[in-house]
Structure formats: structure tokens, C-alpha cells
Structure 1
Amino acid sequence: MALVGWSHESSPFHPGEQAVQARVGVRDKVEAIGRQVVRGYMPDQHREFFAQLPFVVLGAVDADGQPWATLLVGDPGFARSPEPRTLRLDARPVTDDPLATALQAGAPVGLLGIELETRRRNRMNGTVADTDARGISVAVTQSFGNCPQYIQKREYRRVEPDAIPAPPESATVLDEAALARIAAADTFFIATHFAEAGVDTGRDGADVSHRGGKPGFVRVDDNTLVWPDFVGNFHFNTLGNLQANPRAGLLFPDFDSGDLLYLAGRGEIVWDGDELRAFAGAERLVRFRVERVLRLRGRLPLRWALQETSPILAGTGDWQAVDEAVALMQLADRYRPLRVLQRVRESGTITSFHLQPADGLGVVPYQPGQFLPIRIDVPGLGLLTRTYSLSQAADGQTYRISVKREGRVSRHLHDALQAGDLLDAQAPRGQFVLDAASTRPVILLSGGVGITPMLAMLDTLAPASGERHRARSVWFVHAARNGREHAFGAMLRERAAQHAKLRVHVRYSQPDEADRLGHDYDSAGRIDADLLRSLLPLDDYDVYLCGPDGFMRQTYWALRGLGIAKHRIHYEFFGQGEPLEADAAAAVPAPTVAQPVRFERSDRSTEWNPGQTLLEAAEASGLSPAYSCRAGLCGSCSTPLRSGEVCYPNPPAYTPREGEALICCAMPVSPVVLAL
């Protein structure tokens, strides 16, 4: 039989899945991949795989339209595929299972074949074609493979279940035993459902998926569960169903006792918030409100022994760390003491400082590309503030800034700051950040010390721990004057050797005699369109750009000349700079009429004069508001706006929170009251 990929004219993904794919920016690429990997039949590998399993996971809906997940168990061979469009299951749900009477002809089902001892899994969706006393036959509508991420390795053994099973336990709330089971779980299964009224596309019906994490990755609070959604295959089968139909069913199997804990309720996707930002590895959260609870004790004739947790989970967070991080976020605008753990000379002009909180509290999580606002007492100059990019991805323990010796504060750091010394810092901030959810290939373009935020991005895209599953292609192009000023060169070469999808090109503008072409650097000159054209295949890139002003402008327009869209190029200046390409819609004229300004906390009033910023008006009134960059970059000066309206003639890079004003560049267009 000459079978190919998805044969329908319509997409293999229904509108709910498409909506989630579009929201995270992967719609077009996943559509193309989906048409190759999603099939309307079972390939031979999947047919052979299902035939060797002792159980499968099944999702379906009951007579009330409530999805449930369950396990069907049998001797290997109980699941068999007589031909590519049929899967026969010689098994039935256990007695009292919520799907015991639901598997009738025409019922939509989702199937997950999962082999815990090898971490292999394959998916199949279809409808019940026939049913008898021994089991069911399923007509295949979709079949595709799944990656092994987040699956805990377990070996199984068979047991004889009790001849007289314990009676089912039903409730509408979680009891202490259920709370404890969920809190200890490292695995559960979720069933969801989607249907397009009156449309037969082969893509609707029931679905069942695996979810895995560190023990305790599901937070349970009374009757509400929350869990992280980690990066996956970007099909978004579960989230797409929840987007369209929030009803879902969870199954928590007890691998030691054979108990089955079923939950029915409604789920919702959490797209933003402090908890999400603080949970390492989470792309989203899912919140589930329990409406029904069913426990069947000891019903499974299988028991499992844990052999190994999924190694990929080492890079994910936990709820205790999230709680600590969220508490620290409340201190984001407060200067806290950091102690220098070590200093490392990276080049003739750049030194790295490894910093750790000295107040007994943890570090605030941050995104790759953000910077650290610091404050330090410089002899003869007093307290001065600066911002320095964080040059490594968040590790939950320390910060690293890599500083070029070029100004009063940086010279003091280079000459005086030693291990054990203290400086003050606010929480990391900044909106020049890596879009970690994107699947587009990435170009990291840096000049000189502009390499620093790129290093944190590189740690995320191509970590030192080795290849990532579904790694993105990365081109790291860096410009330096020569080897004496080139920082992190050896590290870049080592990282490129580790990652097949990482390509590094270093260009020196003024190489020394000691610099070796092909070893220390790859070409001489400045980064220009000809170089980029020679390095980069035609593709839809996410570009990140940082370096000196002249380098930024030349490189930006080289990229634009190569056809890279403006909205795909993200950049950050080290200091105040005009936009590389003006956005006429964002600019507003500066106010020309004086306005009264009142400072609430200090109970002072003044008159703002045209040409001033609100920060300058506050300082002229004898106040000392917090600030750092004075350029709209860092957000340190963001202040609650009690009343009135402000504008930004020079649009800031940092977007203040709703109800706040960035006073270093804000001007009033009406009488205003600030919480200063």
C-alpha cells in the first residue's frame, strides 16, 4: 500500500490547535511539519510498537460529554493492527471505570501507546468501529509519533488483582489521600475532546496525552491543580482542545499500589504571571478545577518500579523555588546587597564578576538578554548607578555580569572590586529578551562587549550541558577589534563543537600579528551584507543585535537589505540611542504647556516646564527618586501614576506596568499626581 502523510486537503490541526500555534508563533512551520508526520493510518513501526505493549492509555467521553483517561491492560499482543487503518484492542476498562460503558461503535477515542521502560511513545486517534465482549476495534483517523521527553523510566511486573475489588470511592472534592497522591506524582495522563459540528475532517475527537515532571510538579490547592507546560512538539493537541473545550479528565495511576485516581473538571491555559515567569522551563501553566473524583483501589494487574527520572527534568523548576522567586519579585525595585564570589578576566578589556545575594535570600529569576541595575559607592564620586547585561542564563544561584573597562564605574569595578566585596543591585529587568517559545532559527549578532546578553541567550539555545531536543539552528556572528579585546572566544568554539546546529563566525576588524586566521578568527573586516549573505541561508530568522552604536546601525541596515523584516530584528543599545529605524506611529510631540505636578508621598507640588522630564521636575523639587539609565531602558524609575496622563516623545525601550509612568522620559499632558 503506497501511503504518504496527511492526505486531507484541510489542515491536520483543528481551529483550537491552530489558535494556540498562532499565539506562540509556530503556526506556519508546524502546519508544514504536521502534514508530513501526521498520518491517516498507522505506519508499520507504530503497528509493531503497539503489539509489544502490556497497556495503552485511552481517552474518550462519557454520555454527558465529560472526557476521561483510563488504562487498558493485557498481555503483549492484546493491541494489534491487522491493517494500517485499524487497531484492535482485546481489553476493556476495569469494572467501575468511568468509561466502562462509553466505548460503543462510533465513539471517538484517543490512544497513547507508551513504553515506560524505553521512554518510547506513539499516538493514535480514531473512532470505535466495532465492539464485543473481548474489546474494541478502532478505525484510525490520525497517527503520529511523540518524543521521549519528560517520561520517567519504569520497569513493570504483573500481579493478580484482588478477586473481590474494593468498592469505588466517589466525591466532588479531593480528600487527604488524593491530595497526597497528586502532590507526590511525577506522571499523569490527561484526556480532552474537540468536535467540529457537522464537519468530518479527520482531526476532531478525543485525545489523551502524557504529562511528566519532578515529583510534586503538580501543585494542588483544595480543588485546584496547576502544572507547568514544558516545550514539546508544538502540535498543542491538549492545549488546543482546552482552548476550544475546557472539559478534561485526569488520571493519576499509583505505580506502586495499582490504584487509579480519576479527576473530572475544567482546565484553562495560563499565559502570563509571576508564577509562570518563575518556573524554570515552563512555557505556560495549566490550571484545572476539579468537579468529580473517583478512586479505584488496586485494580491494575501491573506494578512499576522507578528506574530513572527523565534527564531533561534537571533543567526544570519546582513550586518551592517558584514561591521563593515570586516573593523576591516583590523586592524587585529594592537595592539588595550582592557579594562578589569571583572575578574572571575574559580579555584585555572585559572582566566578569560572579555575584550572589548576601542577604540570605535567593536570586530573582530572569530571562536571557536582561540586565542587572547596580549601585556602588565610588570613592570621590559617591553612590553611582549603572546597568550591566547578565552574561549567563539564570541558574537560580548567582548572577554574572561581564564589564568592559571604559568609564568611571567600570574602572572602579576593574581596579577595586575583589572577591568578598559587596555592591547593591535591583532585580534584573529589560525587554531585550530571547523569545524562547519561538521555533525560528536564530541569528545572534554582537560587537565588542555587546556579546554579553548574547551569551545568556546562547546558554538557553545551546547549553553547555549538551544538545537540546528539537534544538533551533543558531548563527552566532561576533565582531571584535582583535584577539586582545575578544572575550569568550574559546568558550564559543567549545560550544560550537558541542552543538551541530550552532555555527560561530568571528570577524576581527584590526587583527594583530598574533591572531591566527581560522583559529582565533574566521575573517577580517567589518560585519556587512556580503558576509551575512555568504553565511546565512534564506530563512525566516529571529535576529538579536547588540553592540556599539555604529556597529548596530551598519549591521541593522545590512539585515534589512537582506530582506529580514523589521519586526524580526530585536536590539539593545548600551546607553541611550535613537531607534535604528524610526516608527512614526510611536512618536508623539513633546508637550508645550506647563502642568502642575504633585508628589503624593512627600506632599510636595511643583510646576512642570516644557523640555523637562518628570524625573528632572522631581529632582528640581529636592526629591531623589530611584533611577538608573535615564534613557527609558531599564525601568528602575517606573513610578505609580495616581492621576493624570503622560506621554513619551522619545518612546522608551522599557514598557512600564499599567498605572505607572517611566519618569526618566515621561512628560505630562495634564495635571498629574505621582506616588513619590
Structure 2
Amino acid sequence: MALPGWPHDGSPFHPGEQEVQRRVGVRDKVEAIGRQAVRGLMPEQHRAFFAQLPFVVIGAVDEAGQPWASLLFGQPGFAHSSDPRTLSVMAMPVDGDPLSGAIRSGAALGLLGIELHTRRRNRVNGKVTSVDENGFAVEVEQSFGNCPQYIQKRSYRTVTETGALLPQPESLTELDAAAIARIAAADTFFIATHYAAPGDGAAYGADVSHRGGKPGFVRVDDASTLTWPDFVGNFYFNTLGNLQANPRAGLLFPDFETGELLYVAGRGEIVWDGDELRGFAGAERLVRFRIERVLRLAGRLPLRWQLEEASPILAGTGDWPAAEASAAMARPADSYRSFRITRVERESETIKSFYLEPADALGLARHQPGQFLPIRVRVPGVGTLMRTYTLSQAANGRDYRISVKRAGVVSDYLHDHVGVGSLIKALAPRGHFMLDAAGTRPVVLLSAGVGITPMLAMVGALFPDDGVGHRQRPAWFIHAARNGRDHAFGPWLRELAERHDKLRVHVRYSQPGGDDELGVTQDSVGRIDADLLRSLLPLDDYDVYLCGPTGFMRNAFWILRGLGVAKERIHYEFFGPGGTLDDAPASAGGAGSDLANHEPQTVHFARAGKTETWRQGSLLDLAEQAGLSPVYSCRSGLCGSCATRIVEGGVVYPAPPLTPPAAGEALICCARPGSKLVLDL
């Protein structure tokens, strides 16, 4: 029989936890999950789990109200549960422990059962009901499991008592050299926090949690200050919620090799934004900790551990040197730097990927999924040209990747002349089309052609190859291409979807080739239309990210609106703020159709000797439809690459370009004819 969930009318989360959940945008979802997963009693498997442990972690407050984390240990079975609402622990804190005397009847206690060699952990919070010289019993108020993220795998052994005298406890007001060295090398610590409020609710009390990272993930800022990253977790925010309401906390850094226990007490502050946070890969927030007291107990643990394997999810997280270098690079964001091409890969007949690493040995400015990289290239016989290319992979702290479609002077030069070892200049990443990492809704990534590039960075952030992404929310990746020859990254996307059950991929080809196979290279044939999106997306509450040719995006925008997706949920990329999709509805036809309430105009391309009738879209769209290949990059009036001389007539801009053209020129990527027009193309 299934155990009941949360047995109380009130929330399993207190106001501090709820405030953090609300700020991150997961409040309603986590409330529903918590009512199922947080119980008022211990499941049978949790009771058996605690009984097999050689140690447990506890969190409580001393007489002054200061929280401390500590370890209790014994032979397996020393922690046991006689019934689902009781956990008994036959051990007490060692001499000199800050929680000596704090475990008394009625005291709030948090317990963490953690098995390092299996990476399992379960939590119990409650109140002490009885105490004697051998141990104590706790009445269970909250019981729930935790995932194995960030736990380093360690095997243990018991140390035989030698009878040697142990050093006396050392009490300090700040870190000394030995404490700094211990923390700087740590890959694990435990943190105790406490929340109390009138009403004595079951969601209140003490808590103790595990924190893990690469060695050095806790930065020693000075002898009185620590900073560490807060990675994505279960979104309960037990620790941060307590800190939000009560900043006092206690940290415990165990030395797994020597048995030393280093206790640190002080006050924690949540850092929600800043260059350091943005530069630390995998960090959702930072915690800055002001130290008030330090206590060191040498050789107290009768257990020793040997590291077997670091948590595999840590491969997707950064470190402080990289974060600090990234923050430093973000400050001179408008200065060009040299980057060396370290890898070139052909993704399709028309698209190549270029991997760029800094040539100056400094760090990378971290980018957000969806942003672009401005580059500067000297093309022989033409001059120095600027282009912007979307970064096509999630930030990894090592390199940038741009995936370039052959479509003009600079792209031709990159395809034909730039290889491994070549140098190009680039600014720091920028752009406002970004994945909302704090979102909780299902995600739709909808693209066509080379518009796939920002979506690759987004899907890579949501579903990384080497760990858990920002939110692990359901996502649809829907892509339109002409055929397999034009389609880039198809095999990689399908492999990613096979590894993540919350990611679904659908590819539609409009003109399949002889080597294309339905169900293998593509999932359907035709253009992306209302029937397809309706069949794939049964709900209407999505965050949609849209990128591709203007006509495709406009039509997709109005199809989504017709399916009930709110306008504010549809985010799109013109590779810069160069236009809007909601100025006119589209037809119910395929992705190539586009309606706009403007009079048709005649446009003559003088050098090509071609005359076309403009009805919608930009002049660049019209030129491409006429078979011309004008120079362009950003399609938004940002880079000025597409500036074209006006021979006769005038142009209008639906939105002012960021870089106004010179007199007598038009930025054809974002301009429309204002009258009969002749262009020098």
C-alpha cells in the first residue's frame, strides 16, 4: 500500500522556503510535489536505510540559537526506527562538539542519512522526545529522499582505537592557515540552518544538508568570509529558505582522511546576480558566508574514507578561477580579443562549426543560451568586416562554438580559408534572446534552417550531455529543413533525445532527398503548419523559442497564437531586436506563407537586372527570393553589413535599426520599401 504524502492542511514548506520558491518561479509546482514526496512518517525503505549507516549528520541549535552541523557515528544499527514515526540514535556528540548539551527533550533536530559509497541520502526532521546517556529518540515530522547529485563516492573503514590522547579543541574567531587550507581543498561540507516561528508548525525547525562540488568550490575570500555556488537541486530550498528567514548557519568540513572536524559558524547571504554568478558554470545562485566562530576537533572520527569517484554531474560545473576570469572578461565586453580556431566540423552541405578558444590565455566571458558572438574578419581584397553568429552550444567554460551557413563574403571566407590554428577577433557574447533558466513551463524550441543554432545552445543547457540541466522540464525540439543535406546536427539531437526522456524531437523536411528516410532522418514531410503543432503540443502553456527565416517565424507565431499560446510566452530571434511578429496575422497555410497589411511595391535590383514585387518581409528576404546573395550577418540592423546604396526611392523600418545607415543607404536586412525602389544590387 502506498504511504500517504504530507498529512497536514498547511504547506510542507515554511514562509522562507516559499519566498525562495516563488522568486525562482517554482512555487506552485514544488508545492504539489512536496505534498506527495514530503511525508509525516518514514517509509520502510528509509527505516532500513538508516539502520545500515555507520554515521548520520545532525543539525540543531545551541543555547544561543546558533545552528551547528555535526556527525554521530556507531556500528550499523545504532540509528534505527522502531515505528514509522520514530527514529532512535544510540550516540551523542563527542566531547568538545558544539552540540554537546543541545540534544534535549523538545529540541528541533535535522538528520541526514548519507551513504557515500552508494550516493544515497534521506532526510528526517523532527523533535527530540527522549534523551539518556546512550542516545535519543526523534519524533518524525518530515521525511523525504534526496537525489544523489554532487555526492562524491567514497569507501570507508573503521579506525581501531589507539588510546592516544587527542588534541584539545581549538576555538578561533576567524580562519587560520590550516583551516583555510582545509576548506580550499574540500569537495564536501554539511550546513545546518534553523527556522522558528509562532505556531510551531511541522514545516518549521532545524535542517541539515549536504553540499558538494569540485575541490575548491568553497572559495575563501578572506579569513572571515566564504563564498560557494548553489547548484540546481530539488527546488525545495530547505537551506536557502531558512537562510532567507534566519541567516544564522553552521558549516561542518570533515577531513575524510584524518578524521578532523572543522566547524564554522556565522551568517549566510544569498547572492542572486552579478558577473561572478554568471561566470560560474552550473551555478544558480551564490551564498556568501560571514564567519563568527571556528572550532576544530582533531582525530574525533572513528571512520576514514577513500575517494573512489567524483560526482559525474560536476563535469558540467565550473570553478572559481574560470568564474573570475569570465567576470573579468565581461567587464571589457566591447574590446575585441583574439581567438584561435581549435576545431572545424562540417554539419551539413552548407553549415560548418568553428570552435574558438582564447588566444590570450585569459578566460571566456560566459554566455547565456541564445546569445550571439560578434566577430571581426579581414577578408583579402575586401577589407575588415564584422558579423554576428549565434553561439550554438551551451556555455562550458572552455570554448565557443559558432555554426556558420555559407551565405556571403564572410561566411564564404570562413568556410574556404579558416581552419585549425587560424585567429579571428571577437567581442564578448551579447544579445537579449535567451533561455529563461528560471522558467517552469514546458519548453518548445521551434526553428527552421540555420535558425537551429540558438536552439542548440538552449537544448544543451536544458539537457546537458554530462548531467542535470537547469530545470529538467519537458521540452519539444521541432525543426524544419529542406532535406538531410541541409539539416545540421540531426544525429546529435536524436542521440540527446534518447538519453533524456523529457526531450522530444520532431523534424519535418519540405523536400526530402533520395538518402532521406522517413522515421530515421525526418519524422514528417511538408511545412510546419497548424495541424502538426496541434498534434505535437496538446497543451497551451508553453514557453516557446522561435528562430528561422522571417516568413517562417511570422507564420509560426500566429499559428501558436491560434493554438492558445499567450503572446508573452513566445520569444523569437531576429539575431537582435530588429522587428516584431505580432503586427499582422498569418494565414493558416504552411510556414512559407506570410501576411502583412502593406501595399505591394516594385523593387529593382540594378546590378542584377532583376525586378521583383515586394509584398512582405525585408528587402533582404526579397533579394534572396530573387536568387541574389547580398552580404549580411545579423538581420537586425546591428552590424551594418548589409548596407546597400539606394539609387532611387526610399525605405522604411518597422523598428529603428541599432546602427543607422549612412545617408543614401539602406540596411536591407530590416528595411521595407516606402515607395518604388531601385537598389544598387
TM-score (structure 1 length as normaliser) = 0.84
Mark the CA change 1:219 to 1:29 in structure 2 (over 3 Å): closer, same or farther.
Answer: same
Per the alignment, residue 497 of structure 2 pairs with 496
How much does 1:465 deviate?
Answer: 4.2
How much does 1:205 deviate?
Answer: 0.3
Per the alignment, residue 372 of structure 2 pairs with 371
How much does 1:402 deviate?
Answer: 1.2
How much does 1:554 deviate?
Answer: 1.2
Per the alignment, residue 67 of structure 2 pairs with 67
Q: Tell me the distance in 1 between the aligned counterparts of 2:558 and 2:26.
A: 26
AA paired with 1:397?
R
Per the alignment, residue 94 of structure 2 pairs with 94
Q: How does 1:152-163 map to 2 (within 5 A)?
A: 152-159=152-159, 160=161, 162=163
My pick for the range that moved more, 563-572 or 159-168, is 159-168
| 3-state SS of 2:82 partner | strand
Unaligned 5+ segments in structure 2 are: 585-632, 642-652, 660-669, 671-681
Per the alignment, residue 413 of structure 1 pairs with 414
Q: Tell me the distance in 2 between the aligned counterparts of 1:402 and 1:349.
A: 10
Q: How does 1:44-83 map to 2 (within 5 A)?
A: 44-83=44-83
Mark the CA change 1:482 to 1:126 in structure 2 (over 3 Å): closer, same or farther.
Answer: same
How much does 1:331 deviate?
Answer: 3.1
Query: Per-residue displacement from partner, 1:591-620 (whole Å, max 9, x unpaired)?
Result: xxxxxxxxxxxxxxxxxxxxxxxxxxxxxx
Per the alignment, residue 329 of structure 1 pairs with 330
2:316–2:466 Cα contact (<8 Å) kept: no
1:518 aligns with 2:519: yes
1:467–1:498 Cα contact (<8 Å) kept: no
How much does 1:144 deviate?
Answer: 0.1
Query: Per-residue displacement from partner, 1:355-384 (whole Å, max 9, x unpaired)?
Result: 233333333222221111011123444222
Mark the CA change 1:207 to 1:560 in structure 2 (over 3 Å): closer, same or farther.
Answer: same
AA paired with 2:146?
N
Per the alignment, residue 235 of structure 1 pairs with 236
Query: Per-residue displacement from partner, 1:208-246 (whole Å, max 9, x unpaired)?
Result: 000111111110122100011111111000000001110
How much does 1:582 deviate?
Answer: 6.5
Per the alignment, residue 8 of structure 1 pairs with 8
2:574–2:636 Cα contact (<8 Å) kept: no
Q: Tell me the distance in 1 between the aligned counterparts of 2:174 and 2:425.
A: 48
How much does 1:392 deviate?
Answer: 1.6
1:161–1:300 Cα contact (<8 Å) kept: no
1:444–1:477 Cα contact (<8 Å) kept: yes
1:178 aligns with 2:179: yes
Mark the CA change 1:469 to 1:571 in structure 2 (over 3 Å): closer, same or farther.
Answer: closer
Per the alignment, residue 137 of structure 1 pairs with 137
1:130–1:136 Cα contact (<8 Å) kept: yes
Per the alignment, residue 356 of structure 2 pairs with 355
| 3-state SS of 2:22 partner | helix
Q: Tell me the distance in 2 between the aligned counterparts of 1:653 and 1:132.
A: 74
AA paired with 1:105?
S
Per the alignment, residue 560 of structure 2 pairs with 559
Per the alignment, residue 201 of structure 2 pairs with 201
| 3-state SS of 1:111 partner | strand
Unaligned 5+ segments in structure 1 are: 584-627, 637-647, 655-664, 666-676
Mark the CA change 1:419 to 1:168 in structure 2 (over 3 Å): closer, same or farther.
Answer: closer
| 3-state SS of 2:134 partner | coil
Q: Tell me the distance in 1 between the aligned counterparts of 2:312 and 2:327.
A: 26
Per the alignment, residue 645 of structure 1 pairs with none
1:187–1:252 Cα contact (<8 Å) kept: yes
Q: Tell me the distance in 2 between the aligned counterparts of 1:344 and 1:172.
A: 56
Q: How many pairs align?
A: 599
Q: Tell me the distance in 2 between the aligned counterparts of 1:194 and 1:466.
A: 32
Q: Tell me the distance in 2 between the aligned counterparts of 1:353 and 1:303.
A: 47
Mark the CA change 1:9 to 1:265 in structure 2 (over 3 Å): closer, same or farther.
Answer: same
Mark the CA change 1:11 to 1:634 in structure 2 (over 3 Å): closer, same or farther.
Answer: farther
How much does 1:110 deviate?
Answer: 0.5
Query: Per-residue displacement from partner, 1:87-130 (whole Å, max 9, x unpaired)?
Result: 11111111121111111111111110111111110001001111
Mark the CA change 1:652 to 1:274 in structure 2 (over 3 Å): closer, same or farther.
Answer: farther
| 3-state SS of 1:372 partner | strand
Q: Tell me the distance in 2 between the aligned counterparts of 1:21 and 1:400.
A: 34
How much does 1:496 deviate?
Answer: 2.4
How much does 1:403 deviate?
Answer: 1.4
AA paired with 1:256?
E
Mark the CA change 1:138 to 1:161 in structure 2 (over 3 Å): closer, same or farther.
Answer: farther
Mark the CA change 1:166 to 1:339 in structure 2 (over 3 Å): closer, same or farther.
Answer: closer
Mark the CA change 1:166 to 1:635 in structure 2 (over 3 Å): closer, same or farther.
Answer: farther
| 3-state SS of 2:87 partner | strand
1:429–1:634 Cα contact (<8 Å) kept: no
Per the alignment, residue 17 of structure 1 pairs with 17
Per the alignment, residue 226 of structure 1 pairs with 227
Per the alignment, residue 123 of structure 1 pairs with 123
1:430–1:634 Cα contact (<8 Å) kept: no
Per the alignment, residue 606 of structure 2 pairs with none
